[in-house]
Amino acid sequence: MHRRRRLSLLAATSLAAALIVPGTAAADGAAPGKDPRLTRLLKAMTLEEKAAQLFVLQVYGKSADTTDPADVARNRRLYGVDNAAQLIARYKPGGIIYYSVDPANVDNPRQLAAFSNGIQRAALAQRVPIPALISIDQEGGIVARVQPPATQSPGAMALAAGRRPADARALAAVTARELRAMGVNTDFAPVADVNVNPANPVIGVRSFGSDPALVSRMVVAQVDGYRVGGVAPTVKHFPGHGDTVTDSHIGVPRIEHTREQWERLDLPPFRAAIERGVDAIMTGHLVVPALDPSGDPATLSRPILTGILRKRLGYRGVIITDALDMQGVRDKYGDDRVPVLALKAGADLLLKPPADASGAGLFPTQLRAVVEAVKSGELTERRLDESVYRVLELKRKRGLFRDPFADESKVDRVVGAPAHLAAAQRATDRTTTLVKNDAGLLPLRPGARRVLVAGWGVATTRTLGEELARRGATATVRETGLSPTQQRIDETVAAARDADLIVAVTNRAWDAEPSTPTEPHNGPGQMNLVKALVATGKPVVVIAVRDPYDIAYFTEAPTYLATYSYTAEALRSAAKVMFGELNPSGRLPVTIPVRDAPDQVLYPFGHGLGYTR
């Protein structure tokens, strides 16, 4: 961004700054402990503007003023507007969330910075100019909306395998600096769930692991790192999504922990984050009878959000719901009731309202429901003001009233900077875990050999093949998908006849059966593929590039590595370990149980092999 352009953008904040010029609580009539500058903003807002400030919305397009016909059509169905600029002008929402697909907001870092600046210009052009929260799910590992050239963190479980909170903190700071360079000021990370259920369909490697103490240390480190980088961290999913076999996107998870189990397993990372002063906490759409026997999901539970989170734990920051289009919060009440009940429960921000069966957006309906609830007295305006104040305070703390804009001229120097990429690779190199090396196959000696790389992931298998080729191998790649058919398996086994070595890549091979009749699952194909390749008698290295639990489903495989993610950095690290360029130092951050015997340990927490030098 040129200096003249930069100055013009900064000038757009002048009115907002004027509304929050320093003053005293006594002089402005503000309540004790309240920032008088923010209370002046509150007084300047209408009821409708206050209610809108509590919504974080998705929008289609890759610019604030998009005219792309497909994006315009989708935005009209959701909101009756063409683009983000019109959405903000009409409704004045508190924030926008970016997605990489449906809606596809992300193209490249410079485009995203321009998009963010367009959103902020629209927000500051309103009658009461208030900068927008611009948010994203950039957890690292398997959940990263912004792909390369942005730096890719190895993800939570991988970082926990490395056992270095300093790495977690450093990479969170890198992620935050790059996000802020693209105009994103809020990250829905880190995940504070303790993944004690190996069959968890939605958390898994997004969690730091199964040990509450380890998860707590890593969560606190990332909270610190995000804030150092200038982005608001958001721990999720309170009160804890780590022990479920139901995905809250498509069903209603029920956590059967006793109160004592919840206190011991789920609570510690959230408590640690609160004590660290975390900016925001995201609710989970989870029914937890031990905490609230009503059957309401936590997002709508006053005993959980107000009774436990606010009063008992003393949390004073922003509470944001998980997306309101997820089935876990829609089953019990109508969509028009959900936002009102969430606010009554204690939530502050309402994320991503749903669409109805025809595809028409329900945000206008939900916004009216909040306004009408205040007018009818069901929800007091004082209660509304409490949430709006917290949102404004978060924006002030993150410096958005001072300068919400990205410097477009510096994006390319910050995002994917060589120092950032090097830090991510160093950290990833400490995470790869050698779980099994019974045949003593690893480390491999460099040199010519014929290698078949087979299994899940077009980019994953190709990248591994390229890494092996750099070390002198002749690599043949056969991508077989999440659920290879018997024909595909037979073809792959036939291709293995000419190989000296087989590298088999798996991605949640354990996910062979659905947890519920409607739950998506991979099927048994990956397990059958590995078993068939091992049965050839050729040397086989199995690399699990997501959940480390796969080994329990083909224990006959003698050599097994866990990378916890399929980033290029993780695959490079795996290749280094295979050839002895790295002595594997990652240790399991979870316990791997025996298949069909969850109380029996196959590989314990902390297990990890190294090479004898």
Active site residues: 249, 322
Q: What is the 3-state secondary structure (H, E, C) of 38-52?
A: HHHHHHHCCHHHHHH
Q: Helix crossing, 36-44 with 381-397: angle to 10°?
A: 130
- Environment class of residue 345 by beta-carbon count within 10 Å: exposed (0-12), middle (13-18) or buried (19+)? buried
Calpha distance 530→553 (Å, rounded): 9
Q: Which residues contact 506 (CB under 8 A, 6 or more apart)?
A: 455, 456, 526, 530, 542, 543, 544, 545, 546, 550
Which stretches of 229-362 are DSSP H helices? 259-261, 267-275, 302, 327-330, 338-345
- Environment class of residue 70 by beta-carbon count within 10 Å: exposed (0-12), middle (13-18) or buried (19+)? exposed
Q: What is the 3-state secondary structure (H, E, C) of 518-567?
A: CCCCCCCHHHHHHHHHHCCCCCEEEEECCCHHHHHHCCCCCEEEECCCCC
Q: How far is CA 169 from the centre of its chain?
A: 16
Q: What is residue 487's three-state secondary structure? A: helix
Task: Give the residue from 140, 120, 139 showing the smallest Cα distance to 130.
Answer: 120
